[in-house]
């Protein structure tokens, strides 16, 4: 087999760094063609010197001269800006684009990659939350694969292998419950940023860690699952599983249930997406049942963690409402991380934006762009 040629969008984030760990752990199987970052120029330069890609993109143009200067002696093309991000994924030398960008920023580069016929390893759930209908329709038209990287969606995908002809009754996405599992609303009023960033099981970036603490991350995954697997909202449920060993489950029409298990290590679903349909041997730690004698499950508390309920409501309404949900949440989380609002106010901002937003039943890409702009502006008003 020839090495698979990769474009890694968001190489300096948590998923991006772990993807490069997988590439290093499986020498000879991959060639890194493109690396991109938003602001972390120093790490992008370090990665570029190590992996020697064909091209790098620094999305924040303020850092262009820094990156270009540092790589001037290397045979690496250096680009900057959002348009470059959308252009670079169309290079003929790319086989697979892994999108690990944060939030809404992943939508247009992913669409550009699909338009050029590239298979997608999707670690940016917001792409499907915002424009799931556009993305899945374009992927079907271009006959490209959407390979899930999120551990939960990878689990569902793995459980469905060999079962695509069999009817699915429902799927169950598991959630760790985050650092505040079991607490009530009055106990969360004074939660600090430091407390919210201490996830019990996973090491992730700041934004997704806060989303996990509010259960918005699980809400976004519910919406993503609907589009990835062609499900109705009523076919997706969430259950809290504190140990994060069972990554998700599929319930079939005959009553059978399949689950995928493993340690909470994102390198495993990343590798599966990169090597699909093969399972290549690695030296990552193995799961040992004797170290986990008790696996527990409980229903989520959607009264305390209102964001999960809001995500289900947005999914039921459809149209541009999930786009509003995502944009308002991104602004609210940023406001919390900057100490502008409290932990409980994140869901308040999202709820108010959903209530006040214009509704578009069948939005175009331009409608999504305008909806995102409107929701961010409204959320900023509420955060101030």
**pLDDT tens sequence across 52-97:** 999 999 999 999 999 999 999 999 999 999 999 999 999 999 999 9
| pLDDT over 90, % of the chain | 93
Per the CB < 8 A criterion, the answer to whether 137 and 114 are in contact is no
Span 302-317, average pLDDT: 97
What is the distance, to the nearest Å, from the Cα of residue 304 to the centroid of all Cα atoms in its chain?
24
Q: State the maximum Cα–Cα separation within the chain, in Å, rounded to a whole number.
A: 62
Length of the chain: 384
Q: Is 230 exposed, middle or buried (0-12, 13-18, 19+ CB in 10 A)?
A: exposed
Span 294-304, average pLDDT: 96
Render 199-211 in DSSP notation, one character per residue.
-SS----HHHHHH
Render 26-94 in DSSP notation, one character per residue.
STTSEEEEEEEESS-HHHHHHHHHHH--SEEEESSGGGHHHHHHHTTTSS-EEEESHHHHHHHTT-TT-
pLDDT score, position 105 = 85
- Tens digits of per-residue pLDDT, 112-131? 999 999 999 999 998 999 99
Greater confidence (80 vs 384) lies with 80
pLDDT score, position 349 = 98
What is the distance, to the nearest Å, from the Cα of residue 55 to the centroid of all Cα atoms in its chain?
24
Render 258-317 in DSSP notation, one character per residue.
EEEE--S-THHHHHHHHHTT------SPPP-GGG------B---TTTSHHHHHHHHHHHH
Q: Which residue has the tokens 């995500």?
A: 311
CB atoms within 10 A of CB 289: 9
pLDDT score, position 205 = 81
pLDDT score, position 333 = 97
- Tens digits of per-residue pLDDT, 329-350? 999 999 999 999 999 999 999 9
- Average pLDDT of the chain is 96
| pLDDT over 70, % of the chain | 99
Residue 201, pLDDT above cutoff 80: no
- H or E element in which residue 252 lies: strand 246-252
Q: How confident is the model at residue 164 (pLDDT cuts 50, 70, 90)?
A: confident
pLDDT score, position 33 = 98
pLDDT score, position 102 = 81
pLDDT score, position 238 = 98
Span 152-174, average pLDDT: 96
> What residues does 56 pair with on adjacent strands?
35, 78
Q: Which residue has the tokens 């020697």?
A: 52
Q: Which residue has the tokens 């698979």?
A: 4
Per the CB < 8 A criterion, the answer to whether 216 and 307 are in contact is yes
Name which of 66-80, 99-113, 210-224 the model is least confident about.
99-113
pLDDT score, position 200 = 78
pLDDT score, position 104 = 82
Q: Is 124 exposed, middle or buried (0-12, 13-18, 19+ CB in 10 A)?
A: buried
Q: How confident is the model at residue 2 (pLDDT cuts 50, 70, 90)?
A: confident
Report all structural domains of the chain as residue ranges with CATH numbers, in order of start. 4-149 (3.40.50.720), 153-317 (no CATH)
pTM: 0.93
pLDDT score, position 216 = 96
Q: What does the alpha-carbon distance between residue 302 and residue 203 come to, in Å, rounded to a whole number?
A: 24
Q: How confident is the model at residue 272 (pLDDT cuts 50, 70, 90)?
A: very high
Q: Which two tokens stand for residue 179?
A: 């650092």
Q: What does the alpha-carbon distance between residue 163 and residue 145 come to, in Å, rounded to a whole number?
A: 17
């Amino acid at each position: 087999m020839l090495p698979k040629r990769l474009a890694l969008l968001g190489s300096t984030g948590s998923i991006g760094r772990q993807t490069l760990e997988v590439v290093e752990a499986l020498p000879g199987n991959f060639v890194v063609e493109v690396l991109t970052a938003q602001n972390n120029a120093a790490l992008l330069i370090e990665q570029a010197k190590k992996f020697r890609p064909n091209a790098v993109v620094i999305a924040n143009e303020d850092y262009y001269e820094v990156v270009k200067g540092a790589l001037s002696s290397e045979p690496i093309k250096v680009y900057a800006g959002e348009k470059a991000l959308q252009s670079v994924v169309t290079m003929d030398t790319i086989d697979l684009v892994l999108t690990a960008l944060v939030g809404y920023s992943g939508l247009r580069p992913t669409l550009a990659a699909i338009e050029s016929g590239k298979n997608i390893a999707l670690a940016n759930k917001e792409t499907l939350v915002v424009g799931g209908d556009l993305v899945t329709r374009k992927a079907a038209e271009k006959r490209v694969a959407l390979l899930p990287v999120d551990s939960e969606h990878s689990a569902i995908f793995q459980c469905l292998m060999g079962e695509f002809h069999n009817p699915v009754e429902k799927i169950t996405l598991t959630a760790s419950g985050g650092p505040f599992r079991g607490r009530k609303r009055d106990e969360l009023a004074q939660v600090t940023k430091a407390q919210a960033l201490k996830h019990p099981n996973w090491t992730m970036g700041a934004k997704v860690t806060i989303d996990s603490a509010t259960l918005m991350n699980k809400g976004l995954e519910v919406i993503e699952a609907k589009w990835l697997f062609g499900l109705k909202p009523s076919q997706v449920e969430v259950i809290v599983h504190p140990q994060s060993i069972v990554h998700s489950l599929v319930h079939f029409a005959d009553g059978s249930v399949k689950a995928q298990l493993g340690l909470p290590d994102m390198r495993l679903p990343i590798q599966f997406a990169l090597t699909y349909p093969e399972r290549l041997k690695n030296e990552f730690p193995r799961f040992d049942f004797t170290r986990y004698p008790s696996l527990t499950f409980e229903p989520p508390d959607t009264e305390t963690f209102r964001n999960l309920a809001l995500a289900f409501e947005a999914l039921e309404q459809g149209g541009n409402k999930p786009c509003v949900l995502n944009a308002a949440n991104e602004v609210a989380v940023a406001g919390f991380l900057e100490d502008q609002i409290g932990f409980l106010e994140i869901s308040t901002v999202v709820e108010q934006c959903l209530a006040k937003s214009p509704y578009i039943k069948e939005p175009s890409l331009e409608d999504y762009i305008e909806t995102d702009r409107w929701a961010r502006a409204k959320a900023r008003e509420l955060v101030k």
